[in-house]
Amino acid sequence: MELIVRHGEREERVQVRRSGDGFEVTVGDRTYPVDALAAGRLIQSLRIDGAHHEVAVRAQGDGTYWVSTAYGAGPVEVTDPLTHLAAQAAGGRGGRKNQRMNAYMPGRVVAVLAEEGQTVTAGQGIVVLEAMKMENEIRAEHDGVLRHIFVQPGQSVDGGDPLFELE
Amino acid sequence: MASDSVPRRRIRKILIANRGEIAVRVLRACRELGIRSAVIYSEPDRLGLPVLLADEAYPIGPAPSRESYLRAEAIVDLAVRIGADAIHPGYGFLSERSEFSRLCRDAGVIFIGPSPEAIAAMGSKVESRRLMIDAGVPVVPGGKDPLPDLEAATAAAGQIGFPIMLKAAAGGGGKGMRMVPGPAELPGAYRAARSEAAASFGDDSVYIEKLIENPRHVEIQVMGDLHGRVVSLGERECSLQRRHQKVVEEAPSPVVTPELRRRMGEAAVKAAQAVGYSNAGTCEFLLTPNGEFYFLEMNTRLQVEHPVTELVTGIDLVIAQIRVAEGEPLGPEFDDVQPRGHAIEVRLYAEDPYQRFAPSPGRIEVLRWPQGPGVRNDAGVYEGSEVSIHYDPMLAKLIVWASDRERALDRLGRALAELRVEGIRTTVPLYKALLADPDFRAGNMDIGMLDRKLAAGELRPVQEEGDGLADLPLIAAALAHFERASHNISGPAPAGAGSRRSRWSLAGRREALRGGAWS
């Protein structure tokens, strides 16, 4: 099976084949014999050329997997080559003009420090969010005009809820 | 000093007025002493580890602390009703409220901590500064009075000169505290400090202090009995802080000499005696690079980081607290206590260190604690438990001990490699990165170091070495995807055909069914 796998800045063509009791995985031009076994819930024991790696893999839907290793954790996107091509043709990934800032944690909006239509500068505080007893100022990541503010003081938000949109 | 006048009273049941890891810590001491334990819990904490381990458990209200863990009168009433001889307040919540200690006393329940008078005297930073100056304990220059408005703050800042610190008069734990580099930042910082102080402590008074640049945070653990004796149990180095919140603590400090330890210990004992202190307490000091130290505040309770002192002194501080509260004098093990070996604690926060420390609530899907020589875990959670957004994100502490600092660092690295937490994000990757940091390894730190390194983009996750490891996340995700896809096409694997593969498939399918519950 041929896949396109994206991890951070990297995007690689990856091939997975069954091989005996295990697998053979080719990433770019490197091929690894992999012996993979589940060690309880979420945890996978991967032996690659004798070296052992304990990883946790959680499917998040849409071909995204949260992978955590001894060195860190993060999302890895997996698509098949055809879907990948179609997405590129549709310009799915590039060309974001509006930048939407989402709540990166669940919490309560304590204050909104700017107004829709206002021109703001990078680093300027827009929304103050309180969670786990700490107040955090959510700032504009770049200069721009505030297109929308989606929240009001006093409102509770979930992680991922939109806070404001910057053009 | 007349020890004969101190009544002795055996404690047979303790009500623990707290939650999380510290409630568990106190439960452990109770069980070892054969004391019956009772805990309170808020609605979301019904299945918390304290409830599971306690002899008795009582609901105290809904999630918000104000309606549960902060209900002083209801808690004291409960203690009376269930026949508890004593209340242990843990840290945070009601632990440093003098009214709570007083309510206990009035109800005839032993408060395992200092007297209401001592808490009140130390609880107001403004008042305690005055007392310390009178007692000859060195303090940081600054205004002593609460600042009623922005004009007063501006005037006071102008007098002592920027940079300054704004601090909550009733505060602690970094909340309601703001560093202000210059006049432009004062209005915002003043507003934030007051509102945080009000939210966290129900008191929005703040005061101002000169900022001492590049100091260490070194604190002295003291223990006092009801017979007037107060001793120092040595220092803890707590300079690694993020936004004034401690993240790593150790004992002893890499820079405190026996001579400095003696002088700081004497100052701490003097501070405690100035307010008639009994039970466990901590005097926090700023230590400058040239060895001057200034009293910051006294925490009139057990500290989060008390285990490092326990590991280097061999003294169980919670058991000592209970014995002292019963009226026992401090025994010979408290004579001239010196540290043995080296202990380091890291606090496990449910926060993503690489997403601006965003809180990461959720269910803990996998939890494997490190074990083996010299490792201690003080946790308030278990595999399967739910981390709620309502409370402090600190879940647990991992503490190691070894014969010297270098070995303790290596042991911490080993323990962190064994530790496995899945389902929520934690600060563990940051501690792995810290262990690779030359300044931390060398013991060169000050209270601003961690924030500076984070702001400079240092302490990134420890990077994979070599192509094989760099490809690991890709291999793992591709395999998971492969298994799910082939499962969808071909249906369940035939029975007996490679049990290894089908186990992998099953795990993948279970995950697929859960799909979307994560993000």
* Domains in chain B: boundaries: 3-112, 141-210, 348-436, 471-514
Which residues in chain B have their CB less than 8 angstroms from residue A78's CB? 477-478, 480-481
Would the CATH topology of B3-112 be identical to that of B141-210? no
Asked if B476 lies within 8 A of A69 by C-beta distance, the reply is yes
Which residues in chain B have their CB less than 8 angstroms from residue A57's CB? 476-477, 479-480, 508, 511
Q: Is the dihedral of CA B408, B409, B411, B415 positive or negative?
A: positive
- Mean per-residue pLDDT, B466-472: 73
CATH of domain B141-210: 3.30.1490.20
pLDDT of residue B346: 98
Assess whether A8 and A52 both reside in one domain. Answer: yes
Other CB atoms within 10 A of residue A153 CB: 11
Q: Which residues pair with A72 in a beta bridge?
A: A69
Asked if A60 lies within 8 A of B515 by C-beta distance, the reply is yes
Distance, CA of B218 to CA of A99 (rounded, Å) = 44
Distance, CA of B327 to CA of B312 (rounded, Å) = 25
Distance, CA of B373 to CA of B428 (rounded, Å) = 20
Is B55 within 8 Å of B81 (Cβ atoms)? Answer: no
Question: Does A136 score more than 80 pLDDT?
Answer: no
Assess whether A133 and A162 both reside in one domain. Answer: yes
pLDDT tier, B61 (very low <50, low <70, confident <90, very high otherwise): very high
Asked if A104 lies within 8 A of B358 by C-beta distance, the reply is yes
Helices of type H across B63-172: 72-81, 98-107, 116-123, 125-135, 150-160
- Mean per-residue pLDDT, B395-412: 98
Q: Please name the residues in contact with B500: beta carbons below 8 A apart, sequence gap of 6 or more.
A: A21, A37
DSSP classification of residue B215: -
pLDDT tier, B344 (very low <50, low <70, confident <90, very high otherwise): very high
Which residues in chain B have their CB less than 8 angstroms from residue A27's CB? 471, 474-475, 478
Nearest CB neighbour to B479, from listed A36, A49, A160: A36
Range with the largest mean pLDDT of A78-87, A102-111, A134-143, B290-299: B290-299
Residue closest to B222 by CA, chosen among B102, B137, B152, B105: B137
Cα B77 to chain centroid, rounded:
28
3-state SS, residue B126: helix
For A76, the closest chain B residue by CA position comes to B477
A18 belongs to a structural domain = yes
- Name the least confident of B251-260, B355-364, B458-467: B458-467
Query: Which tokens in the block code for residue B325?
Result: 């509260």
Smallest CA–CA separation between A167 and chain B, in Å? Answer: 23
Question: Does B358 score more than 60 pLDDT?
Answer: yes
Assess whether A18 and A47 both reside in one domain. Answer: yes
pLDDT exceeding 70 applies to what percent of chain A? Answer: 90
Assess whether A37 and A75 both reside in one domain. Answer: yes
For B519, the closest chain A residue by CA position comes to A60
pLDDT exceeding 90 applies to what percent of chain B? Answer: 74
Q: Cα torsion for A34, A39, A43, A45, to the nearest 10°?
A: -20
Asked if A41 lies within 8 A of B468 by C-beta distance, the reply is no
> What are φ and ψ of residue B255, in 5° steps?
-115, -5
A94 belongs to a structural domain = no
Q: Which residue segment(s) compose the domain that A133 sits in? A: 99-166
> What's the CATH code of the domain at A11?
3.30.700.30
Question: Does B56 score more than 80 pLDDT?
Answer: yes
Domain B3-112 coded CATH 3.40.50.20: yes
Smallest CA–CA separation between B518 and chain A, in Å? Answer: 6
- Mean per-residue pLDDT, B114-139: 91
C-alpha distance from residue B296 to each of A141, B114, B164, B503 (Å): 36, 19, 14, 57
Give the largest Cα separation in chain B, rounded.
84
Interface mutation target, options A25, A67, A71, chain B, most CBs of B under 10 Å: A71
> What's the CATH code of the domain at A107?
2.40.50.100
Residue A82 contacts B where some CB pair is shorter than 8 Å: no
Nearest CB neighbour to B475, from listed A34, A58, A70: A34
Query: Which tokens in the block code for residue B184?
Result: 């432009």
Residue closest to A68 by CA, chosen among A39, A44, A99: A44
Architecture of domain B348-436: 2-Layer Sandwich (3.30)
Q: Please name the residues in contact with B257: beta carbons below 8 A apart, sequence gap of 6 or more.
A: none
Residue closest to B204 by CA, chosen among B170, B237, B230: B170
Distance, CA of B54 to CA of B309 (rounded, Å) = 25
Distance, CA of A137 to CA of B287 (rounded, Å) = 31
Assess whether A82 and A122 both reside in one domain. Answer: no
For A80, the closest chain B residue by CA position comes to B481
- Mean per-residue pLDDT, A116-132: 85
pLDDT of residue A129: 83
Assess whether A11 and A75 both reside in one domain. Answer: yes
pLDDT of residue B510: 46
Assess whether A118 and A55 both reside in one domain. Answer: no
pLDDT tier, B255 (very low <50, low <70, confident <90, very high otherwise): very high
pLDDT of residue B493: 39
Is B348 within 8 Å of B432 (Cβ atoms)? Answer: no
Which residues in chain B have their CB less than 8 angstroms from residue A37's CB? 500, 503-504
Q: Which residue, A89, A124, A147, sits at the end of a domain? A: A89
Asked if A59 lies within 8 A of B461 by C-beta distance, the reply is no
Question: Does A9 score more than 70 pLDDT?
Answer: yes
Mean pLDDT of chain A: 85
Residue closest to B463 by CA, chosen among B440, B429, B438: B429
- Mean per-residue pLDDT, B405-409: 98
Is A99 within 8 Å of A141 (Cβ atoms)? Answer: yes
Assess whether A84 and A106 both reside in one domain. Answer: no
Nearest CB neighbour to A131, from listed B389, B468, B480: B389
Smallest CA–CA separation between B504 and chain A, in Å? Answer: 5
Assess whether A15 and A83 both reside in one domain. Answer: yes
Q: Which residue, A89, A116, A148, sits at the end of a domain? A: A89
Nearest CB neighbour to B192, from listed A32, A78, A135: A135
Asked if A61 lies within 8 A of B361 by C-beta distance, the reply is no
Assess whether A69 and A115 both reside in one domain. Answer: no
Q: What is the pLDDT of residues B167-204, one digit of tens each?
A: 888 876 667 788 899 999 999 999 988 988 888 888 88
Question: Does B494 score more than 60 pLDDT?
Answer: no
Q: Which residue, A44, A66, A89, sits at the end of a domain? A: A89
**For residue B163, is the peptide bond before it cis, meaning its omega torsion is within 30 degrees of 0?**
yes
Query: Which tokens in the block code for residue B408?
Result: 């303790």
Which residues in chain A have their CB less than 8 angstroms from residue B518's CB? 58, 60, 66
pLDDT of residue B507: 47
- Considering only residues 195 to 214 of chain B, which have any Cβ-Cβ distance to chain A shorter than 8 Å? 195-196, 199-200
- Residue numbers of B annotated as active site: 301
Assess whether A107 and A154 both reside in one domain. Answer: yes
A62 belongs to a structural domain = yes
Question: Does A103 score more than 60 pLDDT?
Answer: yes
If one counts the domains in chain A, the total is 2
- Mean per-residue pLDDT, B392-412: 97
For A71, the closest chain B residue by CA position comes to B462
pLDDT of residue A91: 54
Helices of type H across A65-122: 81-89
pLDDT of residue A137: 79
Which helix (H) or strand (E) element contains residue B408?
Answer: helix B405-418
Which residues in chain B have their CB less than 8 angstroms from residue A72's CB? 354, 429, 461-462
- Mean per-residue pLDDT, A138-155: 86
Nearest CB neighbour to A72, from listed B199, B429, B512: B429
pLDDT of residue B466: 52
Interface mutation target, options B367, B464, B467, B474, chain A, most CBs of A under 10 Å: B474
Other CB atoms within 10 A of residue B125 CB: 24
Residue closest to B123 by CA, chosen among B152, B147, B100: B100
pLDDT of residue B468: 57
